[in-house]
Amino acid sequence: MTDAAEQAATATLLASEELARSSYLRITRDDVRFPDGTEASRTVVWHPGAVALVVQDEDGRWLLIEQYRHPAGRTLLEIPAGTREPGEPPEATAAREVREETGYAAERLEHLGGAWMAPGFTSEYIDFYLATGLRHDPLPQDHDEFIAPPRRLTVAEVRAAVATGEVQDAKTMVALTLYGNRGTDGAKGLAR
């Protein structure tokens, strides 16, 4: 880490004002002071964290879902994912979300790593899992989700979908990297 990065890492919170709150998000305006005395305001979207799943069938194909994403204004092709309940371990979220979004339960969940998705404005951290040993065992989808049955794509087809722009979802792109790092020099992806 550079000296400037070291100093920035030690910013002091001076004040925090809650601007908005929803069922699982908070938005604050935080005033901070950096070690050199510089003060700044930051608007932060506080998120409880999430999981994203590489759901892989017995033939090695990934189960991707098509889900309407309102901020994007369109349906996106992506890996299944979901927000953690307060205090919920990420493994429990992963086990629930795979059933809700694909209709399959996973016999095995392997942690691949994690990533801050947009740390310039949100605290959202996503833990990534590989879900294998699938058996049909659906849970009802959330009342506000409209997810089509999953599409099965080989890893090469997922890469091609990213290359052509069919997949524009960042977590799916991160999952490709973390999945590709499995077993490489013992790496298990990025850690928080």
- Indicate if 107 belongs to the active site: no
Residue 3, both tokens: 């000296």
Catalytic residue among 18, 39, 145, 166: 145
Does residue 8 contact residue 2 with C-beta atoms inside 8 Å? no
Nearest to 169 by CA among 92, 95, 65: 65
Q: What is the DSSP string of 5-67?
A: HHHHTTPEEEEEEEEEE-SS-EEEEEEEE-TTS-EEEEEEEE---EEEEEEB-TTS-EEEEEE
CA atoms within 13 A on the CB side of 138: 9
Pairing of strands 125-136, 50-55: parallel
Does residue 113 contact residue 75 with C-beta atoms inside 8 Å? no
Catalytic center residues: 145
